[in-house]
Structure 1
Amino acid sequence: MGHTNESSWVPSVTLLVGIGRTGTAALLVGADGRVRGDADMVFEGRPVHPSGAVRHKESGVLSLALHEVEPEVERIVIAGPAGPGSLAAMAPDREVVVAWLIAAPEDAEAVVFGEFFRESGGWKFTGIGEGYASGLAELVTAYGVGGGGSAKSGAEAGAGTEAPSQALARSPWRVLSAQAAPARPAPEAGGPPAPATQPAPAPVAPPVPTAQPAPVAPPFPAGLPHASRPYELVAGWEFGPVFEPFTATGEGERVVRTDGRVPPGPVLVEAAREGGGYFGVFSLAKFGRDDDIIANTTLQDFAGSSVVRAPGDRPLQLRVDARVGNRWALRVSPVAAARHLTGTLSGRGPEALLYTGGAADLRVQVEADEKGRGYVSMAYHEVAGRTTLLTHPAVAVSGTGPLAHTVPIPAGPLLMLFETDAPWTLTVREID
């Protein structure tokens, strides 16, 4: 992913976070910018949060299971002793999702390097680099550690844990004064602590999304095939970044460039076209060559979708090839907005589908296309713990002509990419 800009999306999976040296700590803070109690600070002297979602591992590496963090926790602050270096976060598939250069503030003994915070149901990272001259005692007090919050005490959190005042005395954080600094006023909800003379608010995280329609994206224009399909997120789906959808409409040929709301990673691209003739939609590689195919069809009043990877070094670009006068619309959304495969599902043309059930038998029925033939291909990606698409996904079905076939599929979460130019019906029956 390379160097990360502020407020970059990260996947909601277990991340390994480190700064290349010992002494890192994580503070789990709520909407008021403070910990609920001393147990919300995780470091070498208290290596496991009571929830189990945040852990301090060997060599100062922190494990953050973002998908398991308690809903009361709005932000996870990463701090450590002052010094130049870099903060990196790696996903389970070894993809580096954060690479943040750390500049040591002058006259600082401890530094808040950055934080992970909730937004639109997902997680983002932002770099901070705020220094504390009095060291760790000042830093942790600013976040409410030692302030008698409501979280479990060290004794309640589990055997072998100890109070911060005891554990910190033996940690590499011993660049601080013996006495804790006076407590400062709590920052505004959702914002990082800042010097008392200059508060610095940050975005307040919206609530976790549900399967209900989200009000953040307009539907496709009236009259286009996808107008009846609202933007909504499949509850519990974690693969791919969460963001506000990008939409574009036009006629004929055009290259569409997404704006800054589309982050790097796998994204859903929906395409719809009124009329007939050839219609193609392709993502573009770095030097303008066609890359992934979203649509390549002559279907009348086409509607379809696929998943492509938005690059991290430039905007996602989509090339549309359509007849003059043919109206079309594109929508780029989180993968979690794809249709959910449960029971029986019907469609016409290519589509990206999400499956979250157990191991099952999948009945695939494809009719003849407009020329009396039929083509179908379905590949599935097992996406648990991943941030990128598999290079070689499993192929469930591949054939031509009208088709009626039953295939086994493993337990989800699966991203299923279905390709056909004909009407189809899928029926999934979980295996007891």
Structure 2
Amino acid sequence: MGHRTESSWVPSVTLLVGIGDTDIAALLLGADGRVRGDADMVFEGQPVHPSGAVKHTKKALSLALHEVEPEVERIVIAGAATSGSLAAMAPDRAVVVAWLIARPDDAEAVVYGEFFRESGGWKFTGIGKGYASGLAELVTAYGVEVEAEAEKEVEQPVAAPADGPVPLTGVAKAPGRTPSRPLAQSPWQALVAPSAPARKAGEAGGTPAPTASPAVTTAPAPTASPAPTAAPVPTPWPAPAPSPVPTAYPPVERAYELVEGWEFGPVFEPFTASGKGGEAVTVDGRVPPGPVLVEAAHEGEGYVGVFSLNKFNKDDDHLFSTTLPHFTGSSVIRAPGDRPLRLRVEARNRWALRVSPVAAARRLTGTLRGYGPEALLFTGGAADLRVHFEGKEDGSGYVGMWCHEVAGRTTLLTHPALMMNATGPLVHTVPIPPGPLLLLFSADGPWTLTVREIG
């Protein structure tokens, strides 16, 4: 790649990158060293990459390196010419990058450094290359199409349209497009040309174009149903608080963390995909054969289904099949060894998938709340599990749980133990054996689980 400075490894986790009060931006590059479209620029006016892996917040950048699409080879960090120190901090607040920046002479914009892939991981290298003509020259070097009169047009603020905001991907006075706020608020915004569309999901090396993602308010959130009077909650158990119900599209943003000591299933860097409507997804080679965690999210209302495909490219098993609004869920499936794992998504709106190690599932301890189906890990001793299922608004809704005892195993049980199988709101206690256990919990709505070990 022609790096000119000594490079250092960084952990493949979510890093917070900043240079003091300097506003910075990221450009996501493919193997050709160029952006694939407007969506591959992340800055104040376009703060979230479609993959969700790179975000701009408070003059800093959040880089979820473990979620970056495989087509992205490099992430360039750039901004206005300045002096200072670029720092990258891991979730445990450890500083993993500290790069001193000296402002180049006669430069208006600078490439501070870049993160790049190597041998299955990520490295950082400092660059410090200046561009005398400013941001336009800098981004053009990486394939961004810039209008010749962009700077002049930025000086003329354009009023927001009466029918609401539109995606911030255009330039003032572009035919048929009106920005939702004055472009002068961000010097980067004027550099995004409307003639450089992002490739759609499913195209070679492509990502879906960014769209505004306001909170969905048209569908009423399910309300908590009271526990049946015939089975009151015993006084030794605390009364569960209402479980959270998503009110907006959550693109599988839960942090990637592995449960310590969990040994069931292979360990690998997660695979992510997103799109809208029906689509077939081929998981890349980073996912080895064996049990893997599949997380899904769907925007708004409507049916969503996720199915695995067999070697004949036909539906093999269903992971999710629901009309639950603002759906989120997770389950475990076996990735085959003789071919890539393929998933078929049937959905009405936008969706996101993440395939991770089973060890990335949530651990069941104390009190846990959720919404929809979820794979849970239990590593404690024999316990009683209190289930409070709130059900649907009309008093219906399914709730069930299957138990895989995974000690010493490398595959899922063919016939896991069915621990509960019921419909409608309920409060119920289920005795569970000592761990390690993989619990596949299924619910058509909000729930609360409280675990109490025996003895």
For Structure 1 versus Structure 2, the TM-score category normalised by the shorter chain is 0.3 to 0.5
TM-score for the superposition, normalised by structure 2: 0.46
TM-score for the superposition, normalised by structure 1: 0.48
